[in-house]
């Protein structure tokens, strides 16, 4: 370990970060150059021109990153800039991504094996668990209570009484991915009385989950589930996992909620299943292509609710990322195992 380390922010961090770093690692040098980071996140909500650094600011930004032992955030937010940094920096030893699914960006950077061995990559997995689990609960409840039908009746001003809402406490919910989001979703829906079955790459008991299975059991599990929650990252092993075949095998009338990555789902097959009524409804915080193209039929399907990948956003997100990072900083300095280290085989 390097003590004291030089930490450079590649993205705007929480305002709490300097105080947290000073407490966790006295003597550590923290560099946050707001002049080269562009507008803070709160200033870029809504339609605005993309931020572009001038040549001098870009040179300064890259110089700072090359001077770092630890980089906080993805350089310029993308895999190409990350690849350039890693190729150019012999000093870098650890990079932490703000995104929970930062492993996908690291995979896309196509780093050399020796660089993946030299540098530790960590993510912010877990900091979004509560808000995303709430979105999952919203989707499952809205599907059970037939929100699309209620909206249609309101538009038609029709007082229809000849149908029954479904009860979540009588349902079986399948959760694909039992990381922080999946576990918190299981806790919430389990508290309402639903039976929760989950899928993990390495099955083992998980709190609030009644059954834990391996991926090989999915064809049978989707046929049992009244609701399916996808909380999986994008990896070579998960992309396309909820395939046309699995969608066809899904219990008729099931509700789908996706807060993982849109690439996990065969989107065209999902659209066809929604149009035919095989899938009752879908509540999507993610789609295969983002932003979702205006011509996508998902925008106009009444049984679909699209959230523009913002279900994880809340006022405390940056502070939780900063606290996670500084806990890991203490462990890094002590030579202890860190949380959320990216598996550079599966990249999550």
Where does the pLDDT of residue 346 fall: very low under 50, low under 70, confident under 90, or very high at 90 and above? confident
H-assigned helices in the chain: 17-24, 34-37, 55-66, 79-88, 102-108, 113-118, 129-144, 147-156, 180-191, 218-221, 244-249, 267-276, 317-334
The stretch 288-297 carries a mean pLDDT of: 97
Closest by CA to 29, choosing from 2, 63, 1, is 2
The CA R_g of the chain, rounded to the nearest whole Å, is: 22
Q: With 0-12 CB in 10 A as exposed, 13-18 as middle and 19+ as buried, what is 39?
A: exposed
Find where tokens 């038609």 sit: 156
From 6, 309, 327, 346, the catalytic residue: 309
Distance (Å) of CA 224 to CA 135, 149, 198, 337: 22, 24, 12, 39
Q: Same CATH fold, 129-306 and 6-127+314-334?
A: yes
> Phi/psi of residue 328, each to 5°?
-70, -35
At residue 318, the pLDDT reads 93
From 107, 128, 195, 261, the catalytic residue: 261
At residue 42, the pLDDT reads 55
Q: How far apart are CA 123 and CA 210, in angstroms?
A: 28
Q: Which residues of 235-249 are buried (b: 16+ CB within 10 A; e: fewer)?
A: beebbbbbeeebbee
Tokens of 48: 């605005």
- φ/ψ region of 259 (left if φ > 0, alpha if ψ in -120 to 50, else beta) reads alpha
- φ/ψ region of 73 (left if φ > 0, alpha if ψ in -120 to 50, else beta) reads left
β-bridge partners, 176: 199, 230
Distance (Å) of CA 325 to CA 7, 8, 120, 130: 11, 13, 13, 18
Asked if the 6-127+314-334 domain carries CATH number 1.10.3720.10, the reply is no
Task: Give 338's DSSP letter.
Answer: P
Q: How many CB atoms lie within 10 A of CB 279?
A: 25
Closest by CA to 238, choosing from 174, 177, 157, is 177
Active-site residue flag, 309: yes
Q: CATH code for 129-306?
A: 3.40.50.720
From 19, 63, 80, 290, the catalytic residue: 290
Task: Give 170's DSSP letter.
Answer: G
> Phi/psi of residue 111, each to 5°?
-75, 150
Say what the pTM is.
0.88
H or E segment to which residue 41 belongs = none
Lowest mean pLDDT segment, chosen from 138-147, 320-329, 339-348? 339-348
Lowest mean pLDDT segment, chosen from 35-39, 118-122, 176-180? 35-39
Residue with the bigger pLDDT between 22 and 40: it is 22
pLDDT single digits (tens) 134-156: 999 999 999 999 999 999 999 99
Distance (Å) of CA 199 to CA 75, 175, 211, 245, 261: 33, 6, 9, 17, 16
> Does the pLDDT at position 238 exceed 60?
yes
Could you tell me the sign of the dihedral formed by the alpha carbons of 129, 131, 132, 136, in that order? positive
Where does the pLDDT of residue 47 fall: very low under 50, low under 70, confident under 90, or very high at 90 and above? very low
Active-site residue flag, 261: yes
Cis previous bond, 291, omega within 30 = yes
Where are the chain's structural domains?
A: 6-127+314-334, 129-306
At residue 40, the pLDDT reads 74
């Amino acid at each position: 370990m390097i003590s004291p380390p030089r930490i450079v922010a590649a993205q705007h961090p929480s305002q709490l970060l300097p105080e947290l770093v000073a407490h966790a690692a006295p003597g550590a040098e923290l560099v946050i150059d707001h002049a080269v980071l562009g507008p803070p996140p709160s200033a870029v909500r809504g339609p605005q021109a993309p931020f572009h650094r001038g040549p001098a600011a870009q040179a300064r930004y890259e110089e700072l990153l090359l001077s770092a032992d630890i980089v906080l955030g993805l350089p310029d937010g993308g895999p190409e800039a990350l690849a350039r940094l890693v190729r150019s920096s012999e000093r870098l030893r650890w990079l932490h991504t703000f995104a929970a699914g930062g492993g996908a960006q690291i995979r896309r950077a196509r780093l050399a094996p020796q660089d993946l061995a030299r540098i530790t990559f960590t993510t912010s997995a877990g900091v979004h668990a509560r808000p995303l689990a709430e979105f999952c609960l919203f989707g499952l409840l809205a599907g059970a209570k037939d929100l699309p039908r209620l909206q249609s009746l309101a538009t038609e001003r029709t007082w229809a009484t000849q149908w029954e809402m479904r009860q979540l406490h009588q349902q079986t919910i399948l959760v694909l991915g039992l990381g922080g989001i999946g576990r918190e979703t299981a806790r919430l829906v389990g508290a309402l009385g639903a039976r929760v079955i989950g899928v993990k790459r390495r099955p083992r008991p998980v709190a609030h989950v009644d059954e834990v299975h391996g991926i090989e059991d999915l064809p049978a599990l989707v046929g049992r589930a009244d609701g399916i929650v996808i909380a999986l990252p994008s990896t070579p092993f998960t992309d396309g996992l909820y395939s046309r075949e699995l969608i066809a095998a899904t219990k008729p009338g099931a509700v789908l909620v996706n807060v993982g990555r849109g690439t996990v789902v065969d989107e065209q097959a999902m659209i066809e299943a929604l149009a035919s009524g095989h899938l009752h409804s879908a509540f999507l915080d993610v789609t295969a292509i983002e932003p979702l193209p205006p011509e996508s039929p998902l925008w106009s399907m009444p049984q679909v609710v699209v959230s523009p990948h913002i279900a994880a956003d809340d006022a405390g997100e940056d502070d939780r990322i900063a606290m996670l990072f500084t806990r890991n900083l203490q462990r890094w300095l002590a030579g202890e195992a860190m949380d959320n280290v990216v598996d550079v085989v599966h990249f999550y």
